[in-house]
Every structure is written in structure tokens, then in C-alpha cells.
Amino acid sequence: MAAEDKEEPLYVPLKVRRRREQERLEKRRKVLHERIQHERSEDESEGSEDDNEEAEPRTKRTKTSIGAGTTAAGAAPVPKDSEDLQPKERSTVSLLDQAYEMRKKMELEGVNQHKVQQDAQEVSMLKEASYVQKAALVSAHERAEGIHYKESMKTTWKPPRSIAEMTQDECDAVRKKWHILVEGEDVPPPIKSFEYMRFPPAILDALKAKNIMRPTPIQVQAIPCILAGRDMIGIAFTGSGKTVTFTLPLVMLALEEEKKMPIIGHEGPFGLIVGPSRELMRQTFDVVKHFTSHLFKAGYPELRSLLCIGGEDKRQQSELISSRGVHIVVATPGRLNHFLKLHEMTLRLCKYICLDEGDRMLDLGFDEEVATTFNHFSSQRQTLLFSATMPQKFQDFAKDVLVKPVLVNVGRAGAANLDVIQEVEYVKQDAKIVYLLECLQKTSPPVVIFCERKGDVDDIYEYLILKGVEAASIHGGKDQEERNGAIDMFKSGRKDVLVATDVAAKGLDFPDIKHVINFDMPAEIENYVHRIGRTGRCGKTGVATTFINKSVPESALLDLKHLLVEAKQTVPPVLKALEDPYEELVRSATGGDGLSNATGTKGCAFCGGLGHRITDCPKVDSQVRKIGAGKRDFLADAQRLELAKAELNGILVDTQLQEASLLIVLNKRDLPAARDVEELTAALEYQESCAQCNRRVRVQPAVATTGEGLNDGISWLCENMTAL
């Protein structure tokens, strides 16, 4: 062989090499085949013998050397490689079915793993999204001093003995009958009549004048809780009497405080009611005036109330405060903070604050305004949050911030009023205005038409006027006088149709609205619930018609579909055709509701929509962008002032400013006696150099001394930059 190898040429053609490789592989295949045949013949001969003691080790040896399966009962194990040589029983399941089952199993395992990850992501997003709201309901002074109240406000109100002695089972029976859900510690018992709530005869007469004979479900439980001084979250569908629920206890509180010590000029108020829109606050103010006027006519002390909203004369509002003082203030955040900033009004005596439409207050950009208002409180107060759409995330953060709060829920938060017949129609964009005339024929007046854009309001108003329809219009672009005039004419019946943006959807109580038309489907389902809530109030039946087309986001349509199903309304075919594959997949994997989130609540925990999760919520995107801009933006001016004045260590990193910009407080005595942050912080920033390393440092000049003190502070800052 060696000689032959030496005579072999150095170059072997490719064809020759391939042929030799094939011959070598063929030779190895024959050897393996002969070995397998030999092993099989030995197994068959051994299997025919009855000597089990000898057959058993051979079987083990065969399994170990080649690997084996099993044949029919009583047969010896067969080598795995020999299975291909014997006829195999045909499987009853096709390969396509097996592949489908395997793929489905893999998908479900992936979905389960994805659901776990998504639940963790939802919890994280809820914590981030609720950052600003938690800060808004606690004053900067309380945060800086670490003040945490443990007990609720003390009041002199006591329920009648027969009510106070009710057992827990009796209270639960009443709540079950009235469909009331409560959460909290030591919840006061429900009271089914205004007389047993111990209101004076003048208040009972005022209620009868409004044709209110008995309390609604939310009033049965919420009014006793408020009279007892408890912080509360009130959730009830639109038109359920929430305004009376929080105004009556406030009027009684103001009456009690006035009897103890009458107020004089520049004093008050004892209580605040704050809301997101001027029209809503004007309506609430009218309710307060109704009760206080009946008390005054009955011989009780005069209770002065102030409507503190934009668009009204500041001088008249200021004169009432300075000359005689006020007991109750009904306000929007902007004008209220204006008076607080100028020290024309103080909250030194204030013991009560109610945020009407509380979730919308903290969701529409009012969070900083609300935080500024709370920063003016110097002592504990009773805090109330009321809304028809209170998502789970607001309930959770409020429970953390409020003092031993009571949650009173009449129906699911965000659920539509069951007294409203909801109709959804597919209408092309260019045919909407013309189709309005046909929709107006469904019911008799009055009718409200809601639009998203101010331009659409003006266009529809002009079109209806040209067609001879008695119409009025309001939106944020009109001045306050025009808005008030339009609402007054519509309420008095001089106008049959009101065309409005969502400014008219925020809690306004129009009498006997027969029909609500949504010219646009709002992007957020909360706005839809508030819109259709203008009709079907106080047990009356109303109609709501909504126009949809391909311009509406799919998430909004899914929310609408689930809302209609929940309210047992007719779902149009265009919405029935919408499928949520994720929901179906998770339901098939878990056997449950695919839209239940990490907190166990159905739908989105952020906005309350039933057709999506928080990870797909459009409102979260805007909130996350706000958070991403820097948590420094969430601290209002008064908070910055309190934090600066509370700092004792000499250096405070100013997280509100741009990155690497630092607020230097060299000594507490160097802080000017400023009343607001404008006096505390100069408008312009400038740079100073460190005397030792010549490093440039951005400084807020108004809170840092000048000269040697400033230079020493900058040098210290450079030396300790790493530690900071």
C-alpha cells in the first residue's frame, strides 16, 4: 500500500475523488447493515427461548448498545434502528393535525409568558402614570416635613340611635338593595331619608323645591360618610345626584362654623369645590345658592358663597372677599390660584375640599394647578373626589393619599347610564352634516350635538340656522358672556338645539334632554360616557346617537363595542365585525376574560376602557411623554418654594431644571423672604466659574449669595460633584 501511495500522482481529479468517497461510504453502509442483521437474528433466537434470566441481560445490553423500543405485548425489545425495517401501524392523527396542535401549544405557551410580562409592565406603567396625581393631593409642606395624618376629621354630626345601632348584616342588606358597593374601614351606615340625616327643616324645604323627595343610591351612603368627616371617593353614573351629595354637607359645615365664630373681611372660606369647567362650576354655584338662600329665609345666619371662575370680573370677586369674607368658594383652578397667589384669599380656615370630576381634573392638565391649591393648606382637611368615570388607577392612588378613605361605588366606574338608548350609525365624513337633520327628527327638542373641534361647532351651527333650526353653540373659543347666554337660552327653551364641544359634557345638568348626538366619536371612552350622560337623567329615558366611520381609531371602536355589550344595547354589524385576536387567544389559553389586567380589573386600569389594555391605552402615551419630560415639571411653583426653604444642608439638587443645572442654597438665612417662586428664583440664569478649577457651573442667582459666599459654594460643589 505504501508503494502504491508513493506512485500516486500529486493531483487527483475531482471526479476520481468523488468516486472514491462514494465507494468508501458504500463500504461502511454494507458493514453497518450486516451488523444490524446479525444483531436482529440473535434477538429473534433469544426471544424464542423461555430462559428469562438469560434474555433479560441481553435485552438490557441491546437497549444500551443500540437503543430500543417495544413491540407488541410479550415481545422482546426491538432495536431503534430496526424499527424502520419493520411495518409500522398507521397513526390515526394526521401530520397536519399534529403540526397544528404543536403550533397551537407553542403559541399558548408564548401567550402565557407574554401575559405575565405584560401584567408586570402594566403594574410598572400604573406606578409611573400615577406619580403626578399622588403629588397633586399632598401639600409640599406636608411632604417636606413628613406629615402623615392617621385619623379622619372630627365632626359633631351623629346619626340617629336607630341608625347607629344597625348591625353589619342590616347595613349590607340596605346596600345590596340599593346596589351600593363600599370599601374602607368603619364605614358609616346608609341612611334612606333626608330627615334621618338630621338636616334642618329649611334644607328639607329646599330639597322639596327641587322636587327631591328621597335620596338617590349615591346619596344614601355618601352623605353620611361626608357628614362623619371621612375622606371619600364617590363613583356614580351621570345624573345620579352627585352635586347635591357634596354641596349639602359643605353648607352644613359652613353653617356650624359661622355659628361658632362669624367671619369678617379677608377670612374664609371654610370649604372649596373645584371643577374643570366654568359652566360646571356655575351650575354647582347655583345649587349652593339655592340651599343657602333657603337657610337665610328661615332665619339662619347668612352664608356667603363666591363663584371664582375665569371670564368674570375679578374686582367684584375680590371686593366680596375683602369686605365681608366668604364661607364657600366654588372655583376653577386658574382663578382660584390667582387669588391665593395674591393673598387676597387664604385657606387657613378651610377644612373641606371637593374635586368634582376628580379624575378629569387630574387628567386634563390641571394636576399642577391642583397641586398649587393644596400647597396653600396649612392643616388637615377633608378631601372628596367625585366622578362618573373614576378608573382603577385613580382609586388606587387616592386610597394611598387620602386619610382612611371610603370608596362608594354605584355601578362600574365608567359604565354608561342604563336609562340611555344608545344607537351607533356608520356615516361617511362628508355626509354627516346633512344627516344631522334626519337624526334631529328622532325625538322632540331639546337636543345636544357634541363635536370634537371648535370649527365643526361653528359649521354645524351655521348650517342649522340656515335650515331654520333654533340653535345655540358654545365652545372654548367664545367669551364667557356668549357661553352663558347660549346656555341660558337653551335651558329656558328658547333654543331647541345646543351645539357644543366637550365643555358642555362635564357634568352640566340640562333639564329634560331628549336626544344627544355625537357628531364625532371621542377618542377616549370617558368623554363618550360623559356626553351621553346629558340625557336619561333622574330616571328618565333618553336617546344617544353616535356617528362613526373609518376615521375613528380601532381602540375607540373596541371600547364602544364592549360598552354597548355591558349596557345590553344593540351592537351594529360594523362593530360586531371587529375582533380582538389577543382577547380570544388569551381566553382560549386561560379560560377566562382576556381583557382582565394585572390588577384584576376588566379592561384598561388607566382610563377604564373595556376594549383595550393599559399597554395600548392612548391616554398613557401622553402621560408617559409628560413623565419623560422630567418629573421636575410636576413640582409646582409653591412646592419648589417650600422645598427650598425646608432645605437645611446647604445644597439642594434642583430636579425641576435642565440636566446638570443645580440650585445652590448656601445657608438658610440667605434665602430671601419671598412669597412666591418668582421672587425666589430670578428669571435669568448665569454661569459662574470655580476659583480653584475654573469649572463653569450654572447657578440660580436669587437663591445663592453673591461674592465670597457664592465662590465658596461653587468650589464646594465642584469638590463634591461626584457625591451628588
pLDDT at 513: 86
Binding-site residues, in ranges, read 667-670
Residue 447, strand partner residues:
497, 515
Domains and CATH numbers, the chain: 2-79 (no CATH), 153-410 (3.40.50.300), 420-578 (3.40.50.300), 631-719 (no CATH)
Element (H, E) at 368: helix 367-374
Binding-site residues for GTP, in ranges, read 667-670
- Residues 84-104: b if buried by 16+ CB within 10 A, e if exposed: eeeeeeeeeeeeeeeeeeeee
pLDDT at 609: 65
CB half-sphere exposure, 588, CA atoms < 13 A: 11
pLDDT at 297: 94
Which 3 state secondary structure label does DSSP give 166?
Answer: coil
pLDDT at 463: 93
pLDDT at 280: 86
Sequence-distant (≥ 6) Cβ neighbours of residue 285 within 8 angstroms? 305, 307, 330
pLDDT at 558: 87
Helix intervals (H) in 467-580: 480-492, 525-532, 554-566, 573-576
One-letter identity of residue 383: T
Alpha carbon distance 340, 370 (integer Å): 12
Sequence-distant (≥ 6) Cβ neighbours of residue 687 within 8 angstroms? 696, 697, 698, 699
- Chain centroid offset of residue 135 CA: 15
pLDDT at 577: 85
Alpha carbon distance 559, 578 (integer Å): 11
pLDDT at 182: 92
Alpha carbon distance 168, 188 (integer Å): 10
CB half-sphere exposure, 607, CA atoms < 13 A: 27
Alpha carbon distance 557, 523 (integer Å): 9
In this structure, the number of other CB atoms found within 10 A of the CB of residue 65 comes to 10
Mean pLDDT by 10 residues, the chain (724 residues): 48 75 80 76 60 47 44 45 46 66 68 59 54 61 80 91 93 91 92 94 94 92 95 83 93 94 89 89 93 94 92 86 92 91 90 86 70 88 85 67 89 65 91 91 90 91 93 86 88 90 69 88 83 79 91 86 85 84 48 47 62 63 52 43 41 34 35 39 37 44 39 47 37
Q: Closest by alpha carbon to 78, among 101, 106, 58, 98?
A: 58
* Three-state helix/strand/coil letters over 629-653: CCHHHHCCHHHHHHHHHHCCCCEEC
Element (H, E) at 121: helix 95-129
pLDDT at 29: 76
Helix intervals (H) in 130-241: 131-136, 140-145, 161-164, 168-177, 201-209, 217-227
Alpha carbon distance 272, 339 (integer Å): 13
pLDDT at 248: 96
Tell me which long-range contacts 112-120 makes (C-beta under 8 A, separation of at least 24): 112/589, 112/590, 115/586, 115/589, 115/590, 118/598, 118/613, 118/615, 119/597, 119/598, 120/598
- What's the predicted TM-score (pTM) here? 0.61
Residue whose cell numbers read 415481545: 75
- Chain centroid offset of residue 397 CA: 10
Query: φ, ψ for residue 78 (rounded to 5)?
Result: -110, 135
